[in-house]
Chain A
Amino acid sequence: MSNIPDDLRYSKEHEWVRTEGDIATIGITHFAQDQLGDVVFVELPEKGASVRQHASLGVVESVKAASDVYAPVSGEVIERNVKVIESPELVNSSPYQDGWLVKVRMTDKAEPAGLLDAAAYGAHVGAQPH
C-alpha cells in the first residue's frame, strides 16, 4: 500500500495522528477516504470539547453513507479545520495535509506510541477485505 506516510501514527479505525509536543493533529487515512468515496459533509466537535481515545470524535459523510471518526488520542480540541467543514472534498484530495480534521492538546503524550506505525498500518489495511 502506498500513501501511508512514515512520520504518522495510525489507528485500526483508519485515523492518523501527527504530533508536535503535546499537540496532535488528527485526520482519516488515504485508505479510509478511498473506501468512503466522495466526502460531502464533516461533523466535528467544537473547540474546547474533550475527547477520549477510541470514543467518537465526529462523523464523515460520503455520498453513500455516514461513518464515525474515532479519537486516536485523548485530550481537548484546540482547533477544528474550518476549511474542511466548508470544503469536505479536501478529505479526499488531501487526506494528510489540507484535509486534517481537528487538533487536540493531548492529556497523555504516551498514547500515540500505542498506535500503529506506518508499516503496521500498511499490514493492517493490506489484510482488509475490499
Chain B
Amino acid sequence: MTEALRRTPLYDEHIARGARLVPFAGWEMPIQYPAGIVAEHRSVRNDAGLFDLSHMGEFYFRGDGALACVDHLVSSDIAGLEVGQARYGLLCNERGTIIDDVISYRTAVDEVLMVVNASNVEKDAAHVNQYLPEDVAFEDASLETALIAVQGPRAAVILSSVTDLEVRESSIEALPLFGVTRGRVGGVRATIARTGYTGEDGFEVFAPWDRAQSPWNRLLAAGASMGIVPIGLGARDTLRLEARFSLYGNEIDETTDPIEAGLGWTCKLDKEFVGRDAIAAARETGPARRIVGLTIEGGVARHGYGVLANGAVVGQVTSGTYGPTVGRNIALAYVPTALSKVGTTLAVQIRDREAAATVVKTPFYKRDP
C-alpha cells in the first residue's frame, strides 16, 4: 500500500480518547477505544454510542430527474419516497449482482442524497455516471461530508438536547424511522436522519467536513451523564451482525444476487431498474444457496471458514463473531438451499476440527419495540 491513509475530521478526537486506529478501506479509523469492543457494544444496546462514519461516501443527485434517476439505479422504491423519507436498497449491475448497498434520502423535491460504502465510492460513482440523464447533476460529496451516528435507546434524548430543527414545530423524538430532516446539531447546519446499522433506535447526522468537531463533542458532552461513549469499527461489526445487517464484501458483493443474500425484499420487481430482469429470473429459478444465521458451539467462526455437512464442505461463513448481547458465537453463512432450514445441524471448520453449528432464525438480536 503506497497511498497514504485518509483521516476523518475527527481523527484528533479519536487520538485524544485513546482509540486504537487501523487501516480500513483506505482510511485510518478507530477500531476500538480503551473500554474495548464488548463494553462499547453494551453501551449502544443499553444507553448510547457515537460513531464517526465520515469515511462513508455521500452522493448528491440534483435536478428535475433526480428522483427518477435514483429510482432507476436502486432496487427499492425510490420514486415513492416523499420529501423527508429514506429507504435502503441495492445498486446492481445488469447481471443482477450487487455493486453496493445504499440508503437513499429524499432531502428535497429535486434532491436525493445517497450514502454508499467507503470501499465502493469510486466504483459506485463510475457506475452511476453511466446512467445519468442530462437533467440530473451528480456530486460526489464524500470528502466534504462528515457523518456522525448516534445510536442506542438514549440517542433521541441526547441528540434532541443539542439540536434545533429548521421546522420549528417538529422534534427529533417525532422524526419517523427512515425520516430525514434539517437542523443545527451543536450549532452546525446538518442533515439528520433516523437511520443506523446497529439494531437500535438511532440517528445519522451529516455535517460539513471541517465543522464536524462541534456536533461530535457536543453530543459526547450532552450524553455523558446518560452513558454515551464513542464506538469503534469493532463494535459496529458485532452490533450489525447481531441485527443481521449485511456487510458489503462479506455477505454481498458482485458475485452474489439479492435473492440468495436474503435481500429480495429490497427489490421492487414491478418497476424498471438496473439488474431487474436478472433478479426477477433469479427469483423465478430459486436460489441454489442462501444466507443463514448459525450459532456455533466451541469456537468462533470467521469470514471464509468452511461450512460442513457430513464432513464435506457445503458452504462458507461470510461473517462470524461472539455476539455480546446474545451471548453466543454467531455467524452468517452461505449454505445450499436444502440445508438452509431453521434447526438444520451443520458444522464449521475451525482450524483442525469441526465445531457444531445450528441454523437459527435471524436477526440474532431484535430490540423490544
Contacts and interface: CB of A to CB of B under 8 A. Distances in A.
Contacts of A38: 36-39
A62 B324 CA distance: 12
B299 A63 contact: no
Contacts of A15: none
A59 B234 contact: no
A40 interface: yes
Contacts of B213: none
A41 B300 contact: yes
Interface string B36-59: 111100000000000000000000
Interface string A29-71: 0000000011011010000000000000001011111100000
Interface residues on B, range: 10 to 19
B154 interface: no
Given A41-B299, A41-B300, A63 B329 contact: no
A37 B37 contact: yes
B365 to A, nearest CB: 15
B351 A63 contact: no
B322 A40 contact: yes
Contact of A59 (B31, B39, B324, B351): B351
Interface in A72-102: 92
> Which of A43, A63, A64 has the most chain B CB atoms inside 10 A of its CB?
A63
B244 interface: no
B235 to A, nearest CB: 8
A37 B300 CA distance: 15
Interface in B118-141: none
A66 to B, nearest CB: 7
Given A38-B37, A38-B38, A63 B302 contact: no
Interface string B220-253: 0000000000000010001000000000000000
A41 to B, nearest CB: 5
B321 interface: yes
Contacts of A37: 32, 36-37, 234
Contacts of B234: 37, 63-64
B302 to A, nearest CB: 7
A62 B322 CA distance: 8
Nearest to B37: A63
B300 A66 contact: yes
A97 to B, nearest CB: 20
Contacts of B321: 63
A37 B322 CA distance: 13
A63 B322 contact: yes
A61 B300 contact: yes
A40 B300 contact: yes
A40 B300 CA distance: 8
Contacts of B351: 43, 59, 66
Nearest to B296: A41
A41 B324 CA distance: 12
Contacts of A64: 31, 37, 234
A105 B44 CA distance: 46
Nearest to A89: B38
Contacts of A40: 38, 300, 322, 329
A117 to B, nearest CB: 28
Contacts of B32: 37
A63 B37 CA distance: 7
Contacts of A65: 302
A38 B299 CA distance: 15
Nearest to B351: A59
A43 B351 CA distance: 11
Contacts of A62: 37
Interface string B271-302: 00000000000000000000000000011101
A66 B302 CA distance: 9
A30 to B, nearest CB: 14
Contacts of B36: 37-38, 92
List of 7 A-B pairs having minimum Cβ-Cβ separation, nearest first? A40-B322, A38-B38, A63-B37, A61-B300, A38-B36, A41-B300, A38-B37
Interface of A: 37-38, 40-41, 43, 59, 61-66, 92
Given A61-B299, A63-B234, 10 more contacts: A37-B32, A37-B234, A40-B38, A41-B299, A41-B300, A59-B351, A62-B37, A63-B321, A65-B302, A66-B302
